[in-house]
Amino acid sequence: MEVLGTTAGLWRAVVSSGLYHGLNPGMGWPLAVSAALFERRSSALWRAMGLLSVGHFLAMVGILLPFAVMFLLVQYQQEIQIGAACLVIAMGLLLLWYRKHPRFLSRVKPSQLALWSFLVALAHGAGLMLVPIFLGLCGLDELDLGHRAALDLMGANVAMAVIVGLMHTFAMIGSGGLLAWAVHRYFGLQVLRATWFNLDVVWAVSLICVGGLGLWGSLAL
């Protein structure tokens, strides 16, 4: 827990979770490969990855912003962190129990990649994974209500939520984009049929672990 108790450790967690999300096929990089092969040009791959990143970023910020506003209630800081950690753990347990992908995701058209990415990130709890890390970053500084206006506090936390979302998304698009480019450039979609890796269980367990670390840290406040 010591690593996650420092600013550097928390930022590393933001970036590493983004790299992890990018490598996960469930976050959409195979769709970028498919787009490039269908249009027969590499630019289609990066355009698709760009759309996926927009949807992913909006999902991250959409999850983080409510917690940024709630963090104004500094006197309830521990309770908010405990509740957020329990929510992440519950999401991981739900994904372990219910393995099927939501049917509504299959109804989103391939041309709506940003919307698909947004919905997938929400359905798989990608944004929730960042909440304990984000709250840790917001709670590192001593908050003195006698010298800080509520508006300044909210502005700082909202800005932090956007920065966390951006850094995470850049890491995600970097790792996913490189993997998609390698598959498109050298292997083709047939490699997915032979070497497809499913991270659903790993994803669910990682949510439980992150939530557990967040719960541990909040109880130590």
pLDDT tens for residues 138-150?
654 444 444 454 5
pLDDT tens for residues 86-143?
888 888 888 788 766 555 555 556 567 888 788 877 777 777 778 777 777 765 444 4
The answer for residues whose C-beta is within 8 angstroms of residue 78's C-beta and 6 or more apart is: 218, 219, 221
Q: What is the value of pTM for the model shown?
A: 0.73
The angle at the Cα of 51, spanning 45 to 54, to the nearest 5 degrees, equals: 140
Angle subtended by helix axes 77-97 and 126-138, to nearest 10? 160
Is residue 149 classed as helix, strand or coil in its secondary structure?
Answer: coil
Q: What distances in angstroms separate CA 26 from CA 10, 112, 117, 123, 203, one per listed residue?
A: 24, 16, 10, 11, 10
- Return the domain boundaries, the chain: 3-219
The angle at the Cα of 42, spanning 165 to 127, to the nearest 5 degrees, equals: 15
